Each structure stands twice: as C-alpha cells, then as structure tokens.
Amino acid sequence: MELLTISKAAKKLGVHPNSLRNWEKRGLIKPVRLPGGQRRYSMDELNRLLQSGQLTDGQEAVVLYARVSTKKQADAGNLNRQIERLRQYARENGFTIRAEFTDVASGLNQKRRGLANVLKLAEQGEYKKLIIEYPDRLARFGYEYIERHLRYCGVEIIAIAEKEPEDVNS
C-alpha cells in the first residue's frame, strides 16, 4: 500500500495541507501515523473521502473582504454597498460564501481584525478564493506581500474591479 505525505495527498486532492489537518480533527479522514508522528495517507482513504461527498457541495467556498477608511464612509453606507457588490459577484459566479469580513480602518493600518481573520482562515486552508472590490481595499501598500502569502496558502485573490473610481462615495 502506497502512503503519501501530507503535501502530496493535499496536491492530489487540490487542497492546502491544513485542510487535511482540519478534516482529520473533524473525523473526515484518518491518516496513518508513523512512529515519529508524521501523517501518511493511503490512496484508498483519499478516494473514500472524495466519494463520500462530504468535502464540497459542488460550489467553491470563498471569503469576502470589504474595507472603508473612515466611520463617516461606513455611516454613509459605503461599506454595506461594497459588501453587497461582493455578495452579488459571488452569487453570479456560483460561489459559496464561507465568511465575510469587513474593516473600518486605513489601508495603512496593520491591525485590522477583518484582515487578520482573512489570513487566519487562509492559513487553515479553509477557502480557495478571496473576493475584494479593489486591490487597495486589501492594502494601500504591501498588497504584493499579502497576495504572495495568500498564494502560498493556496488562495487566489479576485478583485472584481481593477481601479477604484475617482469618486469613492459609491
């Protein structure tokens, strides 16, 4: 019986290795443990998991993230309109929304709870796509670093618009 490492098993399933760890905690998959504690997965176990239908309902899970800079913008409804546009995009593209996160903070602020949760779920392998409205909603500076980290976690960023309009009161 061929046993695969966690990274090879994850690659076969098209998921992040953290997904396998989470599925093990939930009792969805049982790895073989080597004497040193490393996980190994049999092809039989991977096939059983795939055929069980427990992993997906056919729709891809996504996370939505919206941000405005000020409370005044949030009070004017900008944050609500932004998240609604993201929901609509997800619905139109057949995605299942795994979670929604918002922040009312500067794009320069590094202590944003919503963004921290986006990164945490990515690191746990809980989703494959992050939907944002504009790249600068994620970060004013350092977007490439966040994008690189998310890509390492197996997450693709989808910006539904390339450039923010001059009138940001939309």
Question: Averaged over 35-39, what is the pLDDT?
Answer: 91
* Domain of residue 142, residue span: 61-159
Are 94 and 147 within one domain? yes
pLDDT tens figures, 133-148: 999 888 888 899 999 9
* 97 vs 13, residue with greater confidence: 97
CATH number at residue 70: 3.40.50.1390
pLDDT-derived band at 170, boundaries 50, 70, 90:
very low
Among residues of the chain, what percentage have pLDDT more than 70?
A: 89
Phi, psi of 127, deg, nearest 5: -155, 165
- The answer to whether residue 12 sits within a structural domain is yes
Are 117 and 155 within one domain? yes
- The answer to whether residue 165 sits within a structural domain is no
Is there a contact between 15 and 41 (Cβ–Cβ < 8 Å)? no
Give, as one character, the DSSP assignment of residue 142.
Answer: -
Question: Averaged over 79-95, what is the pLDDT?
Answer: 91
Best CA proximity match to 65, nearest among 151, 142, 159: 159
| pTM of the predicted structure, to 2 decimals | 0.66
Best CA proximity match to 165, nearest among 142, 130, 137: 137
Are 149 and 82 within one domain? yes
**Mean pLDDT computed over every residue of the chain:** 85
Q: Is 19 noted as a catalytic residue in this protein?
A: no
Are 101 and 119 within one domain? yes
CATH number at residue 36: 1.10.1660.10
Question: Averaged over 45-70, what is the pLDDT?
Answer: 77
Are 22 and 90 within one domain? no
Are 48 and 65 within one domain? no
Phi, psi of 60, deg, nearest 5: -80, 135
Q: Distance between CA 32 and CA 39 in Å, rounded?
A: 6
Among residues of the chain, what percentage have pLDDT more than 90?
A: 43
Q: Please pick, among 7, 42, 52, 69, the residue that the annotation labels catalytic.
A: 69
pLDDT-derived band at 50, boundaries 50, 70, 90:
confident
Quick one: CA dihedral 130, 134, 136, 142, positive or negative? Answer: positive
pLDDT tens figures, 98-134: 899 999 988 777 789 999 999 999 988 888 899 999 9
pLDDT at 18 over 90: no
